[in-house]
């Protein structure tokens, strides 16, 4: 059996490896506190569940959906963007339903990257940016995200020759894994850069609604000219606790949406209509659960930040996402530190190296477990004397 060469350069998916380590530890009888994967631990709001219950009984939802998404779903997305960000979208040409934003992110590379082309991707960053490039036989060019630059890429440091050969750029704010945020000044620089080099900007915006203390994330598309050069990938997973439902969308440049649709119409058949109807309910129904979840995440964040700081760390509170990006101790590798926490404390975290070379020296903690378990995790770390 001869496998395709393209998969030889793709490492195992980070979270699949974390799941394996978790199962091995559980078999050994370890009481695991899993802070490794960003999967909301609270259920989907009941109004969304009830809408699915109603919709799935309707035979009209049982046939093939429109490839681009139902009109009702696309209109709901456009209305939500107008109300939330002040961005006008044509639901017929500038909105497309996705089987979760991850699917669209992976497919956009096939729509724009030819063999030998470059994509500009952040490091540390969501692993799919790199693997998507490799699956399209392109070359990922790393934009380092450094703490001293507030985890924003320095566009001026991108090699001129590479910029001329690049087809697309990925940015992601609020950011996974660093929890960094970006303002409109940064987005304006990105638009200027994209216009100069004729690059498609892809903004991964999955965490737009997970924000704290009055901070509201801005859409990249709010910036003048952004819709001419970019698209935004969004998901209902984090905003509405719908990770397993696999419902997302892409919005922005109609040329980019059209190109993405060519890939999608040839490789998938769209999102189940009943799920899209549930998505409409998510956008148009009560929104109070978002604030409840954000208050919950903020409390959990404070437990970990204050707890680690009492042990000698110097962690600053985050303004968005449900992640904390924590430096390892004594310059340990992220894998060694993650393994130490697992072996000594029964705590699973994501090693920073899984997000790229510039993730080395950090671990990512997901605030997706109960407050009392986070308190227990801090206690285990203290008892194990894993302190600065």
- What's the CA gap between 343 and 203, in Å, rounded? 37
Report the pLDDT averaged over residues 301-323. 97
pLDDT of residue 216: 97
CATH code of 46-284, in short, is 3.40.640.10
Above 90 in pLDDT, residue 4?
no
**pLDDT band at residue 92 under the 50/70/90 scheme:** very high
Band of the pLDDT at 289, cuts 50, 70, 90?
very high
* Cα separation values, 110 from 35, 113, 226, 234, Å: 33, 6, 22, 19
Q: Is 206's pLDDT higher than 70?
A: yes
Adjacent-strand bridge partners of 168: 119, 200
Kindly list the domain boundaries of the chain, sorted by start residue: 5-43+288-383, 46-284
- Give yes or no for a contact between 23 and 262, defined as CB atoms under 8 angstroms apart: no
Strands (DSSP E) along 253-357, which ranges? Answer: 323-327, 347-348, 350-351
Q: Is there a contact between 208 and 216 (Cβ–Cβ < 8 Å)?
A: no
pLDDT tens digit string along 220-269?
Answer: 999 999 999 999 999 999 999 999 999 999 999 999 999 999 999 999 99
Q: Residues in the chain, how many?
A: 388
CA–CA dist 289, 291 (Å, integer): 5
For residue 170, give Cα distances in angstroms to 118, 132, 162, 236, 254.
Answer: 12, 11, 15, 20, 18
pLDDT in tens, 43-80: 999 999 999 999 999 999 999 999 999 999 999 999 99
Both structure tokens of 328: 């390892």
The CATH number given to 5-43+288-383 is 3.90.1150.10
From residue 107, alpha-carbon distances to 4, 67, 99, 166, 260 in Å are 18, 14, 11, 17, 7
């Amino acid at each position: 059996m001869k496998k395709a060469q393209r998969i030889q350069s793709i490492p195992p998916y980070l979270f699949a490896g974390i799941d394996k380590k978790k199962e091995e530890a559980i078999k050994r009888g370890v009481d695991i506190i899993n802070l490794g994967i960003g999967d909301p631990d609270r259920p989907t709001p009941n109004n969304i569940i009830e809408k699915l219950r109603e919709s799935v009984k309707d035979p009209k939802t049982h046939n093939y959906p429109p490839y681009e998404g139902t009109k009702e779903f696309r209109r709901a997305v456009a209305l939500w963007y107008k109300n939330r960000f002040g961005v006008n979208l044509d639901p017929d040409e500038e909105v497309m339903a996705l089987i979760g934003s991850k699917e669209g992110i992976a497919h956009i590379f096939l729509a724009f990257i030819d063999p030998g082309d470059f994509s500009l991707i952040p490091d540390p960053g969501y692993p799919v940016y790199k693997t998507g490039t490799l699956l399209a036989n392109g070359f990922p060019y790393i934009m380092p995200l450094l703490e001293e630059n507030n985890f924003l890429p320095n566009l001026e440091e991108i090699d001129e020759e590479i910029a001329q050969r690049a087809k697309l750029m990925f940015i992601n704010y609020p950011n996974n894994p660093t929890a960094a945020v970006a303002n409109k000044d940064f987005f304006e620089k990105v638009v200027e850069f994209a216009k100069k080099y004729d690059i498609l900007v892809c903004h991964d915006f999955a965490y737009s609604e997970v924000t704290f203390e009055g901070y509201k994330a801005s859409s990249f598309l709010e910036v003048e000219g952004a819709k001419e050069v970019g698209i935004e990938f969004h998901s209902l997973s984090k905003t509405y606790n719908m990770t397993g439902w696999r419902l997302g969308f892409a919005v922005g440049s109609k040329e980019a949406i059209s190109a993405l649709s060519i890939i999608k119409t040839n490789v998938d058949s769209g999102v189940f209509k009943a799920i899209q109807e549930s998505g409409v309910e998510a956008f148009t129904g009560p929104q109070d659960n978002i604030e409840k979840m954000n208050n919950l995440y903020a409390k959990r964040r404070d437990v970990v930040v204050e707890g680690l700081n009492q042990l000698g760390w110097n962690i600053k509170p985050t303004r968005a996402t449900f992640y904390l990006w924590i430096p390892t101790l004594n310059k340990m590798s992220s894998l060694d530190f993650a393994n130490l926490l697992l072996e000594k404390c029964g705590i699973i975290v994501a090693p920073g190296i899984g997000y790229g070379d510039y993730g080395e020296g950090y671990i990512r903690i997901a605030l997706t477990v109960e407050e009392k378990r986070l308190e227990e995790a801090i206690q285990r770390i203290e008892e194990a004397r894993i302190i600065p």
